[in-house]
Structure 1
């Protein structure tokens, strides 16, 4: 892999490359579309020494992956063949397919979160169309993580949910968020956890919050651990109305989050229907869903909640974005061993792209992963909901 080759020779490249060659490489990479003009100018103007310019250049290109790294190696060979040979590099001219990769081709997913560069952050801070992120605010990030695994009625236990909790906690921490974590809550306890979170003293200093809730669900609600099979439509159910999240974190109830991104992720079914044709051919499949009707009857879907996303007051509910694990009235799936499909895909996409993409683009890439998702004819499609972001929000991991 060319990016690993650049990593191998990084130290010698920084020590040996001349300023003139750096400028020529920048011109070549801008022409190829590997770098844009702002990135090129940032490398030259925001780094005083030749070594810092070289270090910044190779780090940015290396993070862009194998095709970009291959192009840099090719250009280095033509611009300074002696340095190319000294570094012990090898390359072949990228093919036409490599220079213009098919966007539908799956990327090389990263197992760990790729960090953004200081230069990328500084460049974005001059962009008035994004939410401002300072290093001080980054250090005060806060997230709420609620995972229901064990239920009073043991047949509703969510096998694999412990993997979801572990994966989300690691991701949130890597993104710079202090994680306030709860496990196995009733609907009332979920409500109290949100109220307590909305009063957390750290919120006044953060740049954003993330709220992740994972449980069984129905349309407009997530279910508490005391949920049961209702005997009739009007029987009270242990549930937390998702709409309350927006109320409890709204501008009037939580002024500390005024004009700050509030990112909501919910892994729970929103109904009982399948997202596609399903033929079950085993008694205990590894892939199950977070609807308590599977395999036994579940609460009827509430007619209100998430489908009704009309804003009563645009400034009262602002700067939200939500990713729900499935479309209305349908189920979402969870692997008994690896955890929810949604959470697996979120971790992969965020690890690989959060250093360069804003949250809406990250959510779109998560949704795109589900286009070809099919296990035993099961289908699932997450949906972005209730988005009132007025700017783009970047996580800037590793800032």
Structure 2
């Protein structure tokens, strides 16, 4: 903790008095929607050392992350990046025990200096032939690469009408997901900063695309703020305001309705992968322990969400969402041999072990924890992505 306090103090000593006053202003007026402010009375007539002490008292081991966010709020982006890198250097790794000793490097949490892999490991023709031959009807059969027209839909909300909702770092998520989907052979339809009604329209239009007839699968990725509304998962539109415009949202369930057998017959019997990076509530995720023939209306879906019901998702203000980073890392290294459910399991395993959430207490008796969730799954077969083939 002493090392963290020194790094924050060093950063504050690099800013002029006017910016220091703005830094304090953000601390008592609210750093972000998911970070409790420090009472103004605790920040009156304080110097830089006092501010660091108040932050550690309030945010404990998460004080460094809060400092980075405030620096971003006052447009000290370079200093925020510098502080973040130094904080990662002093972060203590989780002690290895017998549970982890036999786990491969690929199953461990991503490191603090993680960067997107330069490329995705490609499947071999031999692996593909063997997998299809040995598994028969238990695997979705991919179409020939030269004939298929794979499409993916990517919607990312970053800037909101209420600037306090802006999602810093989400640009990196958008860049990473577009890169991954393209590497997997999908042509990406990308949209940014949509209202709930616009999201609905884009999803419906995407479902009607004729190219799906010549495709063997699809991805739909939605990244925004989220909440539970009317007991359903909702994606918030860019004009959402809890008081002035509470109806600007899109229900996640509507994706399934738009892409089901009735509304999108071109994707019947073809896997539809839904990825959702959004909060599902405000809890932190951890507490102190005490045709002629009938077809299924909805089938061949799998939905992977960034967090459990009622829990908030976490996003780094520079590098993007933890959920998206793990998907990139696991898919790039292991999609050449693992089916998609195994890939999702490995993402979950590694996120569960991430030491950054081990002792991050943001509220009394409530700790930051992040566990993704597979939801509403109806895949009767294994889906291999066979990257490169």
**TM-score bucket of the superposed structures, by smaller chain:** 0.5 to 0.7
Aligned residues: 262
Q: Does the CA-based 8 Å contact 1:153-1:226 persist in structure 2?
A: yes
The 8 Å contact of residues 335 and 386 in structure 2, kept in 1 or not, is answered as yes
Deviations 1:200-226 (A, max 9, x none): 111001110000000000021100000
Q: Partners of 1:102 and 1:393 in 2: how far apart?
A: 28
User: Any idea what SS the aligned residue of 1:330 has?
Assistant: coil
Secondary structure class of the residue paired with 1:114: coil
- Please give the TM-score of this superposition, normalised by the length of structure 1: 0.63
Give the corresponding residue for 2:210. 201
Q: Which runs of 4+ in 1 moved over 6 A?
A: none
Name the counterpart of 1:329.
310
1:115 corresponds to: 122
Match in the other structure for 1:318: 299
Who wins on radius of gyration, i.e. which is larger? 1
Answering whether residue 192 of structure 2 is matched by residue 183 of structure 1, we say yes
Secondary structure, counterpart of 1:145 in structure 2: strand
TM-score, with structure 2 as normaliser: 0.64
For residues 193 and 388 of structure 2, what CA distance do their matches in structure 1 show? 31
Instruction: Specify the alignment match of 2:249 in structure 1.
Output: 239
Structure 1 unmatched runs, 5+: 1-100, 279-312
* Rounded Cα–Cα distance in structure 2 between residues aligned with 1:178 and 1:266: 19
Give the alignment of 1:344-355 within 5 angstroms.
344-355=325-336
2:269 is the alignment partner of 1:259: yes
* DSSP-derived class of the 1:342 partner: helix
**How is 1:250-329 mapped onto 2 (pairs within 5 angstroms)?**
250-277=260-287, 315-329=296-310
Shift of 1:102: 1.6
Question: Which secondary structure state, in structure 1, belongs to the residue aligned with residue 158 of structure 2?
Answer: coil
User: Per-residue deviation at 1:141?
Assistant: 1.1
Residue deviations 1:223-248 (CA, integer Å, cap 9, x gap): 000011237xxx74210000000000
Maintained 8 Å contact 1:324/1:384? yes
- Between stretches 104-113 and 156-165, larger displacement belongs to 104-113
1:326 Cα deviation after fit: 0.4
Structure 2 residues without counterparts, runs of 5 or longer? 1-100, 111-116, 289-293, 362-367
| Alpha carbons 2:107, 2:349 under 8 Å: kept | no
Superposed, which structure 2 residues align to 1:383-398 within 5 Å? 383-398=373-388
Query: Is 1:343–2:324 an aligned residue pair?
Result: yes
RMSD, aligned α-carbons: 2.0
Quote the offset at 1:314 in angstroms.
8.1
Query: What secondary structure sits across from 2:369 in the alignment?
Result: coil
Which of 154, 158, 171 is equivalent to 1:162? 171
**SS at structure 2 position matched to 1:182:** strand
Structure-2 separation of matches of 1:384 and 1:204? 27
Cα distance in 1, alignment partners of residues 278 and 147 from structure 2 = 29
Native 8 Å contact 1:142 1:202 kept in 2: yes
